Chains A and B, each alone.
Chain A
Amino acid sequence: MEYILKPWPWYVSGPLIATILLLLLYFGKTFGMSSNLRTFCSIGGAGKYADFFKFDWRSQKWNLTVVLGAVIGGFIAVQFLSNGAPIDLNPETVEDLKKLGFQNAGESILPPEIYSWENVLTLKGMLILLIGGLLVGFGTRYAGGCTSGHAITGLSNLQLPSLIAVIGFFIGGLLMTHFILPLIF
């Protein structure tokens, strides 16, 4: 039990993620979480505005079920399978974050400097989350997949487009982390 309550090392987590890919393939589906965003648009009636959203969203009910399960899984992991140990970040990372104004990095899953309601309910805080989400939603559909669809499934299937997409993920991520975050914080 002690090993379950502690954070899981990468060599346990990575293969378990590959198991999810295997299970979904075996169930006749593929692993791709970002498709659900398109499904939400379709359910909300976006088909009136673009043909892209005109499809039978009921065919995606299985993936929405995975989403529901993921929410429950997140709850179970935090409530019953965690000992509350801080994230074992590189001390350099903690130091870099301190310089940006992030205190106690790693004490919680997400930084309160971004996700606490106190910060979210300011104009700047709200815009950070809204724009962050917007970029993720727009970019993932433009690229035709996200971390699960491209980085895990696509690369496992040796797809060159997925490799290009992952290179894109890093171009954007490096720009944000090294140049834009220091301007925002």
Chain B
Amino acid sequence: MKFLKFLLVGVFFGIVLVKSEAVSWYRIFEMFKFQSFHMYGIIGSAVLLGITIVYTIKKTKLKSIEGKEIYLPPKDKSVTRYLLGGSIFGLGWALAGACPGPMYILVGTGVLSMLVVIAGAVLGTFLYGVFRHKLPH
């Protein structure tokens, strides 16, 4: 029962991302070509409402269902890791057309070759973990 709510959030997430077409390689290509407002509209409206949600949560000190104060951990201060890591991520995002949520959703839509991308992503994460100390952060 504890996990049912997370399962349902996942199902909802999967449906929304398919129906919004944000899981489509073509939409990502179109976004990076600046040829449609669609993806910018999705991310922009999500962030605008998200800012309102986070602000309201902090203002009203809303408690989670576990009764604890809702807390969003701040990200560490740095430029290098975000710019470099972000750019590497962007290269892969535009090549495979899938980021770490959609890759699972797309398996569900029946694209089993996406498992190759997932395998690559797990390997990439592993390599980061191994070489982390040698990278500028």
Contact = CB atoms under 8 A, between A and B. Distances in A.
A14 B97 contact: no
Interface residues of A, number: 127
Contacts of A156: 46-47, 50-51, 53-54
Interface in A95-117: 96-97, 105-106, 109-111, 114-117
A65 interface: yes
Contacts of B15: 73-74, 76-77, 81
Contact of B108 (A15, A62, A71, A164): A71
Interface of B is mostly: helix
Contact of A72 (B96, B108, B127): B108
A109 B114 CA distance: 12
Given A8-B20, A14-B42, A138 B127 contact: yes
A70 B36 contact: no
B122 A137 contact: yes
Interface of A is mostly: helix
A111 B25 contact: yes
Contacts of A84: none
Contact of B11 (A36, A76, A144, A171): A76
A25 B57 contact: yes
Interface of B: 3, 5-33, 35-51, 53-54, 57, 62, 64-66, 68, 70, 72-79, 81-101, 103-111, 113-114, 116-130, 132, 135
